[in-house]
Amino acid sequence: MFKRLLIANRGEIAIRIIRSCRELGVEAVAVYSDVDANALHVQLADHAYRIGPADAAQSYLNMDAIIMAAKAAKADAIHPGYGFLSESAEFAEKVTNAGLIFVGPSAEIIRQVGNKDAARAAMQAAGLPMTVGSDPITSADNACEMAEKIGYPVILKPVSGGGGKSMYVANNKAELLNALNKVDVERISFYLETYISEARHIEVQIMADNYGNVLHVGERECSLQRRNQKILEESPSSALTPEMRERVGAMAIRAAKSIFYTSVGTVEFLLDVKTGNFYFMEINPRIQVEHTVTEMVTHIDLVRRQIRIAAGEPLNKKQSDIEFSGHAIECRINAEDPDMCFRPSPGYIESYHQPGGPRVRVDSGVCAGETVQEYYDPMIAKVIAYGRTRGDAIMIMRRALAEFRISGIKTNISFHQQILNNPHFCSGNIDTQFIHKRMTPVIKDECEIDKEDKKLYISHE
């Protein structure tokens, strides 16, 4: 096991990793920008190093500064968390070349799964089902021609990148041309694929050691999204039968084995509600924000397991050893104002009281007296409720959110409460368009936000 591990991240995920390090007897090294000098993750770490000014490009995205800090701290390994550099093949390569261990898959694997075109080709060769897709787009005319061959509706996606960014649905040629006007196809490579209008976003958590052992740790329902960004997740999915669960788990293992994947990761699928068919979307080569719900229903510490895999330990488990019980829901608490088109709400936290009690977990990156910075992701905490059943978990989450008190900044807690009281959500009648279809009286999803506000945050996912 490592003696000292540097965490190339901030906020709640940095604190989450620090906690696993403590339990493993590993010293945790934090890094921070100038505005994060007094941040909670810095206070909780065993050691801390400044890596640059507030601008993420000069601090949390500064590969050389982070590796220099790891060298100065005499760290054995670097954990990237999620977001920032977690999916950078270049960073993984630099870490390895510096003689350090990257807590995650190899640079080659990150590069392969990060390119959606290459990932789709690899998964197709492995026999995974997928929607009809196109080659990378070369022009607007080329896009329209490929869309006609695929058949509308189509979805426009970037070849590289994740987190639901720069994705547009087009039901006809006019809408496709409008979408193409919003992106730079000359600078960023895009492709088209069939759009499934009634779909659920199902992702499967995997663990893979360095000795060819791969296990799946169940699925997560991630259909509650706003502008393709997840806001609420749960495990297990209420849409899956035991046969479907076994089928999608087997597909996730096959996907991981086909590319010799190592570390923890997630294989993501779309479930066509009408047909019950799964379609491969992508592989995320990192720990996910929503890993917490899987931990609650399996009692497996995924971050600790990720560190152990990086240290060369085998899984020492069989698929039959993975046990599932109960239901867990996670709400992402963001510093944003739902009444003002979810405008970011950075600022000073005057008071902060997070919920507690039986079967409630809170992973937070802030405390009273701290400032939510305008430079980074708006997520400040995650509330996780665990119940014997889905209905039980919903009631516990309602209670937890009612206890949450934050003053000085706006948050999206009230929006989560509206979701949890929506009868369609409570009945499990959800899909990826739930927010748009079922919450339109509450949210004007297409409202305009000032350009300056759009630049306020760098999203983690």
d(CA 130, CA 194): 9
CATH number at residue 156: 3.30.1490.20
CATH of the domain at 85: 3.40.50.20
Average pLDDT over residues 317-346: 95
Determine, yes or no, domain membership for 276: yes
CB-CB contact of 117 with 42 (8 Å): no
Residue 230 shares a structural domain with residue 140: no
In a domain, 264, yes or no: yes
Q: Which of 120, 220, 226, 286 is catalytic?
A: 286
171 in the same domain as 211: no
Phi and psi at 60, nearest 5°, equal -70, -15
Domain that holds residue 136: 132-194
CB-based contact 226:419 (threshold 8 Å): no
Residue 377 shares a structural domain with residue 396:
yes
Reading the block at residue 390, the tokens are 């889905």
Q: Report the amino acid identity of residue 212.
A: G
Rounded to 10 degrees, the C-alpha dihedral 435/157/200/268 comes to -130
Confirm whether 50 is a catalytic residue: no
**Which comes out higher in pLDDT, residue 214 or 460?**
214
At 447 the pLDDT is 52
| Contact between 457 and 376 (Cβ < 8 Å) | yes
User: How are beta strands 405-407 and 351-353 bridged, if at all?
Assistant: antiparallel
Q: Count how many residues are written for the chain.
A: 461
Residue 137 counted as domain residue: yes
In a domain, residue 125? The reply is no
Task: State whether 343 and 210 are in the same domain.
Answer: yes
pLDDT surpassing 50 at residue 453: no
Amino acid, single-letter form, for residue 364: S
Give the residue-averaged pLDDT of 292-315.
98
Q: Are 63 and 211 contained in the same domain?
A: no
Query: Is residue 239 included in any domain, yes or no?
Result: yes
Q: How far apart are CA 439 and CA 164, in angstroms?
A: 20
Q: Cα(217)–Cα(219) distance, rounded to whole angstroms? A: 7
The residue from 86, 103, 120 where one domain ends is 103
The yes-or-no verdict on residue 194 having pLDDT over 90 is: no
Last residue of a domain, one of 161, 194, 227: 194
| 417 and 331 in a common domain | yes
Structural domains of the chain, count: 3
Q: Using omega within 30 degrees of 0 as the cis cutoff, is the peptide bond preceding 153 cis?
A: yes
Longest dimension (CA), the chain: 59
Per-residue pLDDT reduced to its tens digit, 348-374: 999 999 999 999 999 999 999 999 999
CA distance 363 to 233: 14
CA atoms within 13 A on the CB side of 356: 3
Please tell me whether the peptide bond between 236 and the residue prior to it is cis, using omega within 30 degrees of 0: yes
Helices (H) and strands (E) in the chain, counts: 16, 22
The pLDDT tens digits for 28-85 are 999 999 999 999 999 999 999 999 999 999 999 999 999 999 999 999 999 999 999 9
Q: Percent of the chain scored above 70 by pLDDT?
A: 94
Distance CA(99)–CA(77), nearest Å, equals: 9
Mean pLDDT of the chain: 92
Task: Identify the domain boundary among 194, 218, 242.
Answer: 194
Same domain, residue pair 95 and 185 = no
pLDDT at position 461, please? 57
Q: Is 116 part of a structural domain of the chain? A: no
Q: Are strands 379-387 and 327-334 parallel, antiparallel or unpaired?
A: antiparallel
Clarify whether residues 171 and 287 are in a common domain.
no
Residue 335: give its domain's CATH number: 3.30.470.20
Cβ-defined contacts of 349-354 (< 8 Å, 24+): 349/406, 349/407, 349/408, 349/409, 350/407, 350/408, 351/405, 351/406, 351/407, 351/408, 352/405, 352/406, 352/407, 353/403, 353/404, 353/405, 353/406, 354/381, 354/383, 354/403, 354/404
Binned at pLDDT 50, 70 and 90, residue 177 comes out as confident
pLDDT at residue 445 tops 70: no
349 and 206 belong to one structural domain: yes
- The answer to whether residue 40 sits within a structural domain is yes
**Residues 388, 243 share a domain:** yes
Stated pTM of the model: 0.90
Q: Domain check: are 399 and 448 in the same one?
A: yes
**Rounded mean pLDDT of 9-28?**
98
Residue 356 has a pLDDT of 96
Residues 185 and 205 occupy one common structural domain: no
Q: pLDDT-based confidence at 454, cuts 50/70/90?
A: very low
In-domain check, residue 208? yes
Determine what percent of the chain is predicted with pLDDT higher than 90: 76
